Amino acid sequence: MSFSIKSTQRVVGAALVSAMVFGAVSFEAALAADRNLKVWFGRENFIPDDRFATFNAEYPDINVEFEVIRLEDVITQLILALRSGTAPDIVQIHTRDVAQLAQGGVVKNVSHMIEEMKQRFPVTYEQLAPLAWEGASDFDGNLYGIALYAQSIYLTYRTDWLDEAGIEYPLETTDRVLEAAKALTTLPEGGERFGFSLLGCCNSPTWEMPLFLAMGGEVINGVPQVDTEIGIAWIEFYQELMRSQAAHPDTPSWDSGQMRAAFIGERAGMMNMGEHIYVELHKQVPYEEGRWTFERLPTRPGQTEPHVQSGFAFPFIVTTANEDEEAAMLALEYLSRPAFAKQVAIRYQPTTNTAVSEDAEYLAAKPWATDISPLSSNLISLPTHPTKAIQIYDVLQELRDLMVSSPNSDAAEMAANAQEALNAAAGL
């Protein structure tokens, strides 16, 4: 009987211990499975091809959900989602908004996690260009994520048209660009052809600001100084394109798609274009044929100020909704790997992972990559205002629309009015 009691006690004890161990393991497993990460991409094209399959295999305890929230809507959606408790851990935004969102407590300073990434994944960390950090930081150097994709704007033109018109290139200065645009506008055999393709509405002034900087324009404390000789020359450049009918008369109603389509569809000879559009252009007119090329954005004739080739990034930023910083860091590291960054870079935006720029597959897919490399090697992040970037861009957008739609207005007066509005937007 005693044997029986002892044996019963042993069985019960063993069962209890087993239950406790099993329970602990299950609890730990449950906790582990509880690591969720939500990522918002700005475009479908930014999502890696394997849709986080590799990440899930490497970190089975972290469940990643992802959505596409357009870059144009992301700020509003993010703020609404934070209010409703459905905000993502990582969100893709425009660089210009990072500092302002940091001030508003929307994004999270993850400098220490980036430091940890440097220790744990030194290879990936070292591959990232300085713009990857500049594009995801505020004015104090605090890091909020990683800017994996960045682009710049280049003067792109049809060399066959320029050859036909007897115009030598590179053009280099705005007066020569205007001269070429006017020469390309007239077709020898008649028909509709325009020298320069512009846009006049609906998009932020990300095409015009890089030209302002290239022409020697200054941005002081985040406020562009347009009421200057340089600012007036910048406005007059666009006005002259419209006034001389070197740009399509419907330009004031054109968005970026129409602007690009005019060039790709062989209805315009030149435009300021981001490198990612070369993918589409290459499909229509292969780069190897030599019928189109690009150069840095032009300067003013006789410019003494240094030429600036600016770029802007689309960083992945950690939000204040994130509670698992390690998981966020691991996801950022995964997205930064050359294998995944390369996929996006081949089909879409150039990456700040320098390993990709030397990759054979990448170079074969983008035959212009070697030629563009010297132009993009010293990109400077487009300056922004720490707290009023969105408001300042709104004013600049209005100015851009106006200089295209009112080519006969006084540029100096336009510059003065815009400066007043810019200063007011910045609270000066």
Partner 1 sequence: MNRQMTRTEESTLRPEPGILQDWLGRYRRFFLIGLPLAFLIIWTMVPILWAFLASLKNPLEIYESSTFFPRSPSLAAYQTVLAIDGFGKWIFNSVLVTAVATIVPLILSILAAYGFARYLFAFRHVLLLLYLIPRIIPRVSLIVPLNDLMTDLGLINTYWVLYLTYIASAVPLSTWILVGFFRAVPREIEESATIDGANMWNRLRHVILPIAWPGVVTAAVLCIREGWNEFAFVLALVTETGMRTLPYALYMLKDSMGVQNYAVYNAFTILTVLPLLIVYLLLERRVVESIVSGAVK
64 - beta bridge partners?
37
Q: Any contact of residue 262 with partner 1 (CB under 8 A)?
A: yes
Q: Any contact of residue 228 with partner 1 (CB under 8 A)?
A: no
Nearer to partner 1, 276 or 307 (CB): 276
Nearer to partner 1, 29 or 80 (CB): 80
- Binding segment toward partner 1, per CB under 8 A, in 80-88, 326-334, 359-367, 385-393: 80-88
Task: Please provide the DSSP assignment of 7-73 as one string.
Answer: HHHHHHHHHHHHHHHHHHHHHHHHHHHTEEEEEEESSGGGS-TTTTHHHHHH-TTEEEEEEE--TTT
Q: Any contact of residue 83 with partner 1 (CB under 8 A)?
A: yes
- Binding segment toward partner 1, per CB under 8 A, in 8-16, 81-89, 215-223, 367-375: 81-89
Nearer to partner 1, 78 or 331 (CB): 78
Query: In Å, how far are 39, 154, 191, 236, 349 from 342, measured between CA atoms?
Result: 19, 21, 42, 40, 10
How far apart are alpha carbons 359 and 345 in whole angstroms? 11
| Of residues 203-222, those binding partner 1 (CB under 8 A) | 203
Contacts of residue 263, Cβ cutoff 8 Å, sequence gap at least 6: 156, 197, 269, 270, 271, 273, 281
Cα 193 to its chain centre, rounded Å, is 31
How far apart are alpha carbons 390 and 258 in whole angstroms? 24
- Dihedral (C-alpha) 284, 362, 113, 132: value to the nearest 10 degrees? -60
| Of residues 231-260, those binding partner 1 (CB under 8 A) | 255-258, 260
- Binding segment toward partner 1, per CB under 8 A, in 75-83, 134-142, 353-361, 402-410: 75-83
| Of residues 368-407, those binding partner 1 (CB under 8 A) | none
Q: Any contact of residue 64 with partner 1 (CB under 8 A)?
A: no
3-state secondary structure of 244: coil
Q: Any contact of residue 72 with partner 1 (CB under 8 A)?
A: yes
Q: Any contact of residue 349 with partner 1 (CB under 8 A)?
A: yes
- Kindly tell me which residue out of 224, 252, 269, 274 binds partner 1, with binding defined by CB under 8 A: 274
**Taking the complex as a whole, how short is the minimal distance between the CB of residue 19 and partner 1, in angstroms?**
34
Q: Any contact of residue 70 with partner 1 (CB under 8 A)?
A: yes
Outline where 318-426 has alpha helix (H).
325-336, 338-347, 354-357, 360-365, 369-376, 389-405, 411-425
Q: Any contact of residue 346 with partner 1 (CB under 8 A)?
A: no
Q: Any contact of residue 71 with partner 1 (CB under 8 A)?
A: yes
Tokens of 264: 């790709």
Total site size for partner 1, rule CB under 8 A: 38
Whether the CA torsion 418, 421, 425, 428 is positive or negative: it is positive
3-state helix, strand, coil in the chain (%, to 5): 50, 15, 35
- Binding segment toward partner 1, per CB under 8 A, in 76-84, 212-220, 300-308, 394-402: 76-84
Residues 147 and 97: beta-carbon distance below 8 Å: no
Cis, peptide link before residue 170, omega less than 30° from 0: yes
- The single residue listed with the structure tokens 């940091």 is 102
Q: Any contact of residue 265 with partner 1 (CB under 8 A)?
A: yes
Outline where 186-255 has alpha helix (H).
208-214, 229-243
Q: Any contact of residue 345 with partner 1 (CB under 8 A)?
A: no
**Taking the complex as a whole, how short is the minimal distance between the CB of residue 405 and partner 1, in angstroms?**
19
Please count the other Cβ atoms lying within 10 Å of the Cβ belonging to residue 320: 16
Q: Any contact of residue 276 with partner 1 (CB under 8 A)?
A: yes
Nearer to partner 1, 45 or 244 (CB): 45
Q: Any contact of residue 261 with partner 1 (CB under 8 A)?
A: yes
Q: Any contact of residue 85 with partner 1 (CB under 8 A)?
A: yes
Q: Any contact of residue 49 with partner 1 (CB under 8 A)?
A: no
| Of residues 21-40, those binding partner 1 (CB under 8 A) | 40
Q: Any contact of residue 277 with partner 1 (CB under 8 A)?
A: yes
Query: In Å, how far are 52, 64, 102, 182 from 330, measured between CA atoms?
Result: 12, 11, 21, 53
- Kindly tell me which residue out of 35, 267, 291, 307 binds partner 1, with binding defined by CB under 8 A: 267
Name the residue among 69, 65, 64, 72 with its Cα closest to residue 41. Answer: 69
How far apart are alpha carbons 105 and 309 in whole angstroms? 31
- Binding segment toward partner 1, per CB under 8 A, in 62-70, 129-137, 356-364, 376-384: 62-70
Interacting residue ranges for partner 1, rule: CB under 8 A: 40, 43, 45, 67-73, 76-77, 80-81, 83-86, 192, 202-203, 255-258, 260-262, 264-265, 267, 274, 276-277, 280, 284, 348-349
